[in-house]
Amino acid sequence: MSGAGTVRDALAAATDALGAAGCDTPQLDAELLIADALGVDRGELVTGSASDVPAPSARAIGERVRRRVMREPVAYILGRKGFRHIELAVDPRVLIPRPETELLVEVALSAPRGARVHDVGTGSGAVALALMHERPDLRVSASDSSPGAIDVARANARSLGLDLPLAVARGLPDPIAFGLSSRNAGMRPYDLVVANLPYVSIAEMATLAPEIRNHEPHEALVPGGNGLEAIRDVLSEVPAGTRVALEHSPRQARAVRGLLDAAETHHDLAGRERVTVGTAR
Ligand SMILES: C[S@@+](CC[C@H](N)C(=O)[O-])C[C@H]1O[C@@H](n2cnc3c(N)ncnc32)[C@H](O)[C@@H]1O
C-alpha cells in the first residue's frame, strides 16, 4: 500500500517545502533526507523513483522534512557528517565539522614523525581523529570545555577504533591529565597544538544563517566580544617555543599572525586566509 505516492512525488514535495522554507540547497537536502528515511543511498533514489513509498517510510520522511523546514542542519537530522576520510556522529552538543577545517588537518599532517599533537576545542573530535586516522604515528590528545562535546568525541573515537586520550578543560589542559609530565615542569609537553576555537564576534552572530544561529552550540561559535578571546586565552597557556596551528576567520588573519612568532597563513579552497601556523611566545 502506498503512503505518500512515489519516491519521485515525495522528492518533489520535499524540495518545494524546503525551498519555501529558505533552505539553500532544497533538492540536495530532500534527496539526503529521503534516502536516509528509506535506508538507501542517493543513487538508488533515481533508479527507484517510480516505486511507492511505504506508509512507515512516509512518516519518517515527513518527520525529517519538518525538522529541516525549521532550518535544523541536515547533519543533525542524519546524525552524521563526513570529514576527510572518516564519518563522525554529530548532535547539537557539537559544531558540525566544516570543510574549511580540513585545511587545519592538512597543515598538521606535516608534523614530524611521532610528534605529540594536542587538539584544543575538539568538539566532535574531528581534527584529532582525522589526524590519528591519517598519521597513526602521531601521539594525539584532545580536550574541550564542554563535557557534552567530550562525550561525543569519545563515542566517535570508540566507533572508529581510535584510542584518543580526552579531557574536559577550558584552555590548554595540564598534560598530566594524559599521563605526560605537568607543564609546571617548564617543559613543552606538546610538539604541536592545533585548534579550531570559537571565533565569531557577537556582531557577526546576528548575520549567520538560522541553521548556525539557532541550532549549533553557542559556546562553539562565540568566545565573547570581538571573536579573538578564546584564541588569546589558549595561546597565553601554550609554553613558549611550541608550534601552534590555528583556524580563524579571514578577517582575523593579521591579528593572529601578530600573536605568534614566525607566523605563516594558509588559504582555504576559496582562497581565504584560514589557518595560521607559528611558534608560541
Ligand atoms: C568552533 S568549535 C570546533 C570544534 C571542532 N574542533 C571542529 O573543528 O569541528 C569550538 C569548540 O571549542 C570549545 N571551546 C570553546 N571555548 C573553549 C576554551 N576556552 N577552551 C577549550 N575549548 C573551548 C567548544 O566547546 C567547541 O567544541
pLDDT, tens only, 160-175: 999 999 999 999 998 8
Tell me 175's DSSP state. Answer: G
- The confidence score (pLDDT) of residue 1 equals 39
Pocket test for ligand 1, best of 145, 200, 237 (most atoms within 8 A of CB): 145
Phi and psi of 112, rounded to 5°? -65, 160
Strand partners, 116: 139
The predicted structure's pLDDT at residue 224: 87
Q: Is 53 exposed, middle or buried (0-12, 13-18, 19+ CB in 10 A)?
A: buried
Q: What is the mean pLDDT of the chain?
A: 95
Q: Establish whether residue 141 lines the binding site of ligand 1, counting it when its CB lies within 6 angstroms of any ligand atom.
A: no
CB 165 within 8 A of CB 178: yes
d(CA 167, CA 180): 13
Identity of the residue numbered 33: L
pLDDT reading at 2 higher than 60: no
Closest CA to 131 of 148, 152, 149, 114: 114
The rounded distance, in Å, linking the Cα atoms of 115 and 223 is 29
Per-residue pLDDT, 174: 87
Q: Which residues, other chains included, contact 87 with Cβ-Cβ below 8 Å and sequence gap of 6+?
A: 80, 81
Q: How far away, in angstroms, is 243 Cα from ligand 1 center?
A: 19
Comparing 70-79, 91-100, 121-130, 176-185, the range with the smallest average pLDDT is 176-185
Please report the pLDDT score of residue 4 as a whole number: 63
State the average pLDDT over residues 24-48.
96
At residue 186, the pLDDT reads 63
Q: How far apart are CA 129 and CA 160, in angstroms?
A: 8
Report DSSP state, residue 236: T
Contact predicate 83/126, CB 8 Å: yes
CATH number of 93-279: 3.40.50.150
State the pLDDT at residue 182. 67
What is the rounded average pLDDT of the residues 232-245?
96
Res 239 pLDDT > 80 = yes
Atom number of ligand 1 nearest to Cα 97: 9
Q: Determine the residue type at 87.
A: E
Instruction: Give the distance (Å) from ligand 1 centre to CA of residue 134.
Output: 22
Q: Whose CA is nearest to atom 6 of ligand 1?
A: 122
Can you tell me which atom of ligand 1 is nearest the CA of 169?
21
pLDDT surpasses 70 at 184? no
> Could you state, in order of their start, the residue ranges of all structural domains in the chain?
2-70, 93-279
Percent of the chain with pLDDT over 70: 96
Please state the φ and ψ torsions of residue 35, each to the nearest 5 degrees: -60, -40
Query: Residue 262 has what pLDDT?
Result: 98
51 in ligand 1 pocket by Cβ < 6 Å? no
**pLDDT at residue 246 in the model:** 98
- How far apart (Å, rounded) are the C-alpha atoms in residues 131 and 115? 11
Averaged pLDDT for residues 208-224? 96
Cα 58 to Cα 17, 23, 225, distances in angstroms: 15, 21, 45
- Report pLDDT for 35: 97
Burial label, 24 (beta-carbon count in 10 A; 0-12, 13-18, 19+): exposed
